[in-house]
Amino acid sequence: MAAGSGGRGAVSFRREKYVPDGGPDGGDGGRGGDVLVVADSTDTTLSGFRERRSFSAGDGRAGAAGKRSGHQGADLTLHVPVGTIVREGETVLADLDRPGAVALAARGGRGGRGNTRFATATRQAPRAGELGDPGEQRHLHLELRLIADIGLVGLPNSGKSTLLAALTGAQPKIAAYPFTTLHPNLGVAELEGGHTLVLADVPGLIEGASHGAGLGLEFLRHLERTRTLIHVVDASAGVDAARGALETVRAELEAYSHELAARPSVVAFNKIDLPEGSDAADLLAAEVPGSFRISAQHGDGCRELLLAAAELAGRVIRDAPGPAPAGLHRVYRPRPRRVVTTDVVREDGGFRVVGELVERMVRRIDLDNDEAVARLQRKLAAAGVDAALAAAGCDEGDTVLIGDAEFTYTDDGLS
């Protein structure tokens, strides 16, 4: 993602009839546009970002005569689903966990100052302006973690998608082969009093999911935002297989996150519409207190299961410390404190001056303008760069690098 660069400051002088010696009137360049990420998309996935990976905001326009400032560059707003996390490497820049959340992904560059800004009592006709700062360029990773009240977990083909359809009316893809669900599905269940619950059908987990087997890490991340879990177990596979399935899923949750494993949950022994499933469910329900016997295919026991899970989810909300934040908010990244550094390091064939502020000074200067270069020399000397170079052993004629610019060291300063 690339924010817009600032526009160049204008170098201009007032020229009008009867005003023979008009002063400088160059306007400032416009600020570059920002890149913003906003959680307000109607999409439930980030698939729209799969094909296009590069995004750029608008550049600021150059200043003009008559002290006219250039137009600001247009901001670029990327719309993402609620629950999107914006990361740079391993650092989380923003967690867009509710509608209206905004993250500043890349900041636009400041516009250059026109020559009007440099007029003084002793220098009344400055003939140099500043270049605009380049916009930030960042390589960001967008990661979606679904936000749901209840998450459905279990091995592949345990009946989670069928249960989601029975509880919410959602229409996920359902088939009789493993890994039918490749992406999490969401559904909304209605309760009495107009209350609603969001349910997430997460693709089936397999042994080793906590270590990435079967894309398990991607699926387990979605469960981190759920308030409670429903373990869906295929009882028709037999008592021993059902016990093993429940233990496998619980073990993977524990291996991934102790907090996730300790989340309130209920167990649903599914497929009691089959004779072998009904018999096994009777035995298993006696072993697991508070569990439910259900048939997701025919809806038997599903309503009671939903109400029990809703009660657990409501208890989590009631016990949460403090009120949940609401409304529009913006996530700002703190900018590092600007410190003038005079660090000098030796490089092949010369010396390099290191420091963000010093490099920014050089970037903003038109090196083809002698007056601008002379002003830069004074600023660098005031920042202690000349003294630091002399202390590092820099001699007359040595090459000095600052950012992408190359200078020659002399007794009178850099040239």
Angle of helix 239-256 relative to helix 275-287, nearest 10 degrees, comes to: 50
Q: Which residues contact 150 (CB under 8 A, 6 or more apart)?
A: 197, 198, 199, 200, 226, 227, 228, 229, 230, 309, 310, 313
Q: Are strands 228-234 and 265-270 parallel, antiparallel or unpaired?
A: parallel
Whether the CB-CB separation of 217 and 210 falls below 8 Å is answered with yes
Kindly tell me if the per-residue pLDDT of 328 is higher than 80: no
The residue among 97, 116, 143 that closes a domain is 143
**Domain boundaries, position 369:** 343-414
Closest CA to 303 of 176, 226, 197: 197
What confidence tens digit (pLDDT) does each residue in 94-107 have?
Answer: 888 788 889 999 99
The residue among 116, 143, 170 that closes a domain is 143
Return the CATH number at 60.
2.70.210.12
- Is residue 157 assigned to a domain? yes
- Is residue 28 assigned to a domain? no
* 181 confidence band (pLDDT: 50, 70, 90): very low
Rounded to two decimals, the pTM is 0.63
CA distances from 365 to 123, 128, 133, 224, 377 (A): 18, 9, 10, 50, 11
- Is residue 9 assigned to a domain? no
Closest CA to 362 of 203, 183, 130: 130
The residue among 99, 121, 143 that closes a domain is 143
Q: What is the pLDDT of residue 317?
A: 52
The number of domains in the chain is 3
- Is residue 46 assigned to a domain? yes
Q: Which residue has the tokens 């608008």?
A: 58
Under DSSP, the state recorded for 124 is: -
CA distances from 206 to 125, 153, 226, 306 (A): 75, 11, 20, 25
- For residues 312 and 351, membership in a common domain is answered with no
- For residues 61 and 120, membership in a common domain is answered with yes
Q: Which residues contact 247 (CB under 8 A, 6 or more apart)?
A: none
- For residues 176 and 112, membership in a common domain is answered with no
Closest CA to 66 of 128, 16, 121, 120: 16
SS3 145: coil
What confidence tens digit (pLDDT) does each residue in 6-50 have?
Answer: 999 999 998 887 777 778 999 999 999 999 999 886 776 777 787
Q: Which residue has the tokens 């209920």?
A: 266
- Cα within 13 Å of Cα(240), Cβ side: 0
Q: What is the pLDDT of residue 210?
A: 40
Kindly tell me if the per-residue pLDDT of 127 is higher than 70: yes
* 361 confidence band (pLDDT: 50, 70, 90): confident
* 372 confidence band (pLDDT: 50, 70, 90): confident
- For residues 384 and 363, membership in a common domain is answered with yes
SS (H, E, C) 161-211: HHHHHHHHCCCCCCCCCCCCCCCCEEEEEECHHHCEEEEEECCCCCCCHHH
- For residues 372 and 406, membership in a common domain is answered with yes
Kindly tell me if the per-residue pLDDT of 404 is higher than 50: yes
